């Protein structure tokens, strides 16, 4: 199948040129850049033993060379780990940067004259651009389509909030809005733990191991999708309702939980959530303020400032030395808001009943080019 041929060739090119760079570096302490490697790629296509590279979209091959180049640059700038070889067992993908189209439920890219039939999950608006094809470890095929369109930013509401990751709910705002966690996630987590336990008992490389590995991957996929869904909904809602959103830059509560798996997932989803919120805020000219992770938002009484050193995770409600009764999560989110407002230089006195005077708002930075792009998963 031509799609699989693309996944294979792109992986081959990536691994071939990563290996080339590694070997060159070991020998000469330097390695070829993108342009030199692109020339080598052209030569490879002429060679008998690698002539099959001609059968796939040439731009997809060049694109993966560029990705390798970027991965190298990111590594040398200290922004990423050293690039690793691509494995067939992980998610396979390739990107077609140009000459793409979507007509009547069919995706058209060079080398696929008949088009590729697909189910469109979300309406594709605007001009169709770069397309990325995926194959999941469960052998499902996806394409995500980048489109360009004029974006209409959301209206200013004049409202600000602090947001805290709740222990019971996913998130609670300083004005008392609660967002529930996805109710399926818990069930899937149990399913995952069970499936992984089964996998650990299988002999590596055996047929039943392979079968169980796919089962595990399927549960991972389900958890990932339901989580992404919640994170998108909540971040969308916050950006619609508030102009300034303050939050902690790290999920400290998730880190305190001692179950390894749930800790891992909670951490991952919090940082993804912050990422979603930040780019959505950026699109809509709204502001996200991050609070220092060591700020004791849960322990401070937001009314009088008294610090409760004995607060532990099981205490949902507590009373401070001066008799203020506090809901744990709500109190934390109010403290986060106050701290956030301090950070952006807004005096607390300017803040009255959820409104912020225009002067203390501060100017928002210019919108990035991505602000005009929207992703549609096909």
Known catalytic membership, residue 123: no
Cα gap 234→166, rounded to integer Å: 13
Residue number with CB closer to Zn ion (246 or 320): 320
Binding-site ranges for Zn ion (CB under 5 A):
301, 303-304, 306, 320, 322, 324
- Closest distance to Zn ion from the beta carbon of 300 (Å): 9
Known catalytic membership, residue 175: no
Question: Is 245 within 8 Å of 163 (Cβ atoms)?
Answer: yes
Neighbours of 245 (CB within 10 A): 28
Catalytic residue among 164, 243, 282, 339: 164
Residue number with CB closer to Zn ion (56 or 320): 320
- Closest distance to Zn ion from the beta carbon of 326 (Å): 7
Would you give the DSSP letter of residue 6? H
Cα gap 338→305, rounded to integer Å: 11
- Closest distance to Zn ion from the beta carbon of 277 (Å): 30
**Bridge partners of 74?**
none
Residue number with CB closer to Zn ion (324 or 342): 324
Give the closest residue to 287 by CA, choosing from 177, 350, 363, 351.
363
Catalytic residue among 69, 243, 282, 329: 329
Would you give the DSSP letter of residue 50? G
For 8-37, give one letter per residue: b (16+ CB within 10 A) or e.
Answer: ebbbbbbbbbbebbeeeeeeeeebbebeeb
- Closest distance to Zn ion from the beta carbon of 324 (Å): 3
Residue number with CB closer to Zn ion (230 or 301): 301
Return contacts of 324-331, CB within 8 angstroms, 24+ apart. Answer: 326/301, 326/302, 328/167, 328/298, 329/164, 329/166, 329/167, 329/168, 329/169, 329/172, 330/164, 330/172, 330/174, 330/176, 331/298, 331/300, 331/301, 331/302
Residue number with CB closer to Zn ion (261 or 348): 348
Catalytic residue among 69, 248, 282, 339: 248
Known catalytic membership, residue 329: yes
Residue number with CB closer to Zn ion (78 or 323): 323
Tokens of 45: 């296509």
- Closest distance to Zn ion from the beta carbon of 140 (Å): 54
- Closest distance to Zn ion from the beta carbon of 323 (Å): 7
Longest dimension (CA), the chain: 83
Catalogue the active-site residues.
Answer: 164, 248, 329
């Amino acid at each position: 199948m031509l799609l699989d041929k693309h996944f294979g060739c792109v992986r081959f090119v990536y691994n071939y040129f990563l290996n080339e760079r590694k070997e060159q570096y070991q020998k000469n302490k330097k390695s070829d850049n993108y342009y030199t490697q692109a020339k080598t790629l052209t030569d490879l296509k002429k060679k008998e033993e690698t002539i099959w590279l001609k059968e796939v979209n040439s731009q997809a091959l060049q694109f993966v060379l560029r990705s390798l180049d970027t991965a190298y640059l990111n590594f040398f700038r200290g922004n990423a780990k050293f690039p690793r070889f691509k494995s067939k067992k992980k998610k396979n993908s390739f990107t077609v940067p140009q000459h793409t189209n979507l007509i009547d439920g069919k995706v058209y890219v060079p080398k696929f004259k008949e088009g590729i039939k697909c189910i469109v999950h979300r309406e594709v608006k605007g001009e169709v651009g770069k397309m990325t094809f995926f194959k999941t470890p469960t052998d499902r095929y996806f394409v995500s389509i980048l489109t360009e369109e004029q974006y209409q930013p959301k209206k200013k509401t004049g409202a600000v909030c602090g947001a805290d990751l709740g222990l019971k709910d996913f998130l609670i705002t300083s004005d008392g809005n609660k967002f529930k966690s996805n109710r399926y996630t818990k069930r899937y987590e149990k399913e995952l733990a069970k499936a992984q336990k089964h996998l650990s008992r299988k002999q590596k490389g055996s047929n039943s191991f392979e079968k169980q590995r796919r089962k595990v991957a399927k549960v991972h996929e389900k958890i990932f999708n339901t989580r992404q869904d919640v994170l998108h909904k909540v971040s969308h809602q916050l950006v619609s309702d508030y102009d300034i959103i303050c939050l902690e830059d790290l999920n400290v509560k998730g880190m305190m939980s001692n179950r390894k798996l749930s800790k891992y997932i909670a951490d991952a989803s919090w940082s993804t959530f912050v990422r979603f919120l930040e780019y959505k805020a950026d699109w809509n000219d709204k502001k996200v303020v991050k609070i220092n992770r060591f700020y004791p938002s849960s322990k401070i009484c937001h009314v009088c400032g008294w610090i409760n050193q004995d607060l532990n995770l099981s205490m949902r409600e507590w009373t401070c030395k001066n008799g203020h009764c506090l809901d744990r999560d709500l109190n934390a989110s109010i403290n986060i808001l106050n701290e956030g407002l301090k950070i952006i230089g807004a005096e607390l006195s300017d803040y009255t009943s959820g409104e912020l005077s225009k002067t203390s708002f501060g100017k928002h930075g210019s919108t990035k080019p991505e602000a005009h792009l929207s992703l549609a998963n096909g």
